[in-house]
Amino acid sequence: MTQSAIYSRVIGTGSYLPARRVTNQQLADELAARGIETSDEWIVARTGIQARHFAAPDQTSSDMAVEAARRALDMAGLSADQIDLIMVATSTPDFVFPSTACLVQSKLGITNGCAAFDIQAVCSGFAYAMATADNFIRSGAYRNVLVIGAETFSRILDFNDRTTCVLFGDGAGAVVLQASSEPGILSSALHADGSHSNILCVPGNVNAGAVQGEAFLYMDGQAVFKLAVKVLEKVAHEALEKAGLEAEAIDWLIPHQANLRIMTSTARKLDAEAKMVVTVDQHGNTSAASIPLALDVAVRDGRIKAGHNVMIEGVGGGFTWGAVLFRM
Ligand SMILES: CC(C)(COP(=O)(O)OP(=O)(O)OC[C@H]1O[C@@H](n2cnc3c(N)ncnc32)[C@H](O)[C@@H]1OP(=O)(O)O)[C@@H](O)C(=O)NCCC(=O)NCCS
């Protein structure tokens, strides 16, 4: 019964990667044709990335979100019409509006009038969305919530800027959360510091029929790196403390898949290097999609099992960061 539900449980996961896989060497060759120099060695050494997927020209974030959602619903054993709320974490929505979540609702054929909205917290978006969904469920407002992270970052990359275009990829991941008397999400912690908004941004908007400002991603890589390492450690401990658990209780750590060096640094501080799920090597940084993509990979390959404690943690533009600790 919804009234007695106090926890939100993950009952299904799903993900989708667009068909076009581009290795570092292929990307380096494409960039060389534009006179931009990079190499597989540089990208692997600085980031751990070996390949990423890019959406087809006519493929949007909502298209990929729908594929991931279908797989998550299938695992959950729910029909789309049983969903009470759809949240899509994305910084690369199909349109300025309507929200990508509304487009997903329509493409899934949902006619029950469920609530649908997007969450904008860049690479922390999925952690923000999970925490938000948890609060809706624990308040008794909704029973079945579809939480999606979906991105087409390839559309906002400047392929003349080698410091950013080698880092990102496209994809989507989804979970179905359901109200339950068993845990469930144990704790969450979300933060932002808008004073750092200029170190990672797409500083443009639509004005009078054109883009005013910049339509490409800008990043001060070193500033982001330093801040990310600092806040991720802190927020992981905050989530553990709220749940009354020690770091040893974590069975699987799923950090935002941005950069293997940042991920390893945080994992080391939690003594959880061996428990870290890594997909950045094959996916690149897919922003809000990276955590649910990695989660789905580790659930489907059998690493993450029922009863395991999973810590997800994200950091991104805004600057935003957050962590969610949950039991599968
Ligand atoms: C982006 C990042 C990989 C760059 O690594 P770095 O060690 O800081 O490298 P620097 O920016 O100091 O650049 C070092 C050199 O490599 C060069 N370089 C940058 N990108 C390159 C590329 N793709 N290929 C080859 N060389 C490159 C630079 O021009 C610079 O050359 P110079 O010394 O001749 O000036 C790193 O800063 C990083 O990972 N930052 C965090 C990014 C992130 O995770 N963002 C998402 C958060 S959500």
The atom number, within ligand 1, closest to the CA of 261 reads 39
Q: How far is the CA of 153 from the centre of ligand 1 (A)?
A: 18
Among residues 24, 53, 114, 256, the one annotated as catalytic is 256
Whether 285 is catalytic: yes
Confidence of residue 1 (pLDDT cuts 50, 70, 90): very low
Give the 3-state DSSP-derived string for the chain, with helices as H, strands as E and coil as C: CHHHCCEEEEEEEEEECCCEEEEHHHHHHHHHCCCCCCCHHHHHHHHCCCEEEECCCCCCHHHHHHHHHHHHHHHHCCCHHHCCEEEEECCCCCCCCCCHHHHHHHHCCCCCCCEEEEECCHHHHHHHHHHHHHHHHHCCCCCEEEEEEEEEHHHHCCCCCHHHHCCECEEEEEEEEEEECCCCEEEEEEEECHHHHHHEECCEEEECCEEEECCCCEECHHHHHHHHHHHHHHHHHHHHHHHCCCHHHCCEEEECCCCHHHHHHHHHHCCCHHHECCCHHHHCECHHHHHHHHHHHHHHCCCCCCCCEEEEEEEECCCEEEEEEEEC
Query: pLDDT class for 6, splitting at 50, 70, 90?
Result: confident
The predicted-structure confidence for 50-81, as pLDDT tens digits, reads as follows: 999 999 999 999 999 999 999 999 999 999 99
82 lines ligand 1 (CB under 6 A): no
Atom of ligand 1 nearest to the CA of 122: 48
Whole-number Å distance, alpha carbon 79 to ligand 1 midpoint, is 45
Cα(43) to ligand 1 centroid in Å equals 9
Percentage of the chain lying above the pLDDT 90 cut? 98
- Residue 191 confidence (pLDDT) above 50: yes
Q: Which of 123, 165, 225, 321 to mutate to test the pocket of ligand 1 (most atoms within 8 A of CB)?
A: 225
pLDDT for 108-161, tens place per residue?
999 999 999 999 999 999 999 999 999 999 999 999 999 999 999 999 999 999
Mean pLDDT of the 217-229 span? 96
Residue identifier of the C-alpha nearest atom 17 of ligand 1: 163
Q: Is 285 in the pocket of ligand 1 (CB under 6 A)?
A: yes
**How far is the centre of ligand 1, averaged over its atoms, from the C-alpha of 69 (Å)?**
34
256 is an active site residue: yes
* Spacing, Cα 163 to ligand 1 middle (Å): 5
Ligand 1 atom closest to Cα of residue 228: 47
How much is the pLDDT for 9?
98
CB distance 121 to ligand 1 below 6 Å: no
Would you state the pLDDT for residue 3? 52
pLDDT of residue 5: 56
Arithmetic mean of pLDDT over the chain: 97
Q: 149-187 pLDDT, tens per residue?
A: 999 999 999 999 999 999 999 999 999 999 999 999 999
262 lines ligand 1 (CB under 6 A): yes
- Rounded to an integer, the average pLDDT of 1-27 is 89
| pLDDT given at position 4 | 62
For residue 259, give the ligand 1 atom closest to its CA.
44
What separation in Å is there between the alpha carbon of 274 and the centre of ligand 1?
Answer: 26
Residue 259 annotated in active site: no
**55 C-alpha vs ligand 1 centroid, how far in Å?**
24
For ligand 1, is residue 224 a contact (CB within 6 Å)?
yes
Query: Which atom of ligand 1 is the closest one to the Cα of 165?
Result: 23
pTM: predicted TM-score of the whole model, two decimal places: 0.97
Q: Mean per-residue pLDDT for 246-273?
A: 96
Catalytic-role residue among 102, 123, 165, 201: 123
- Average pLDDT (301-318) is 97
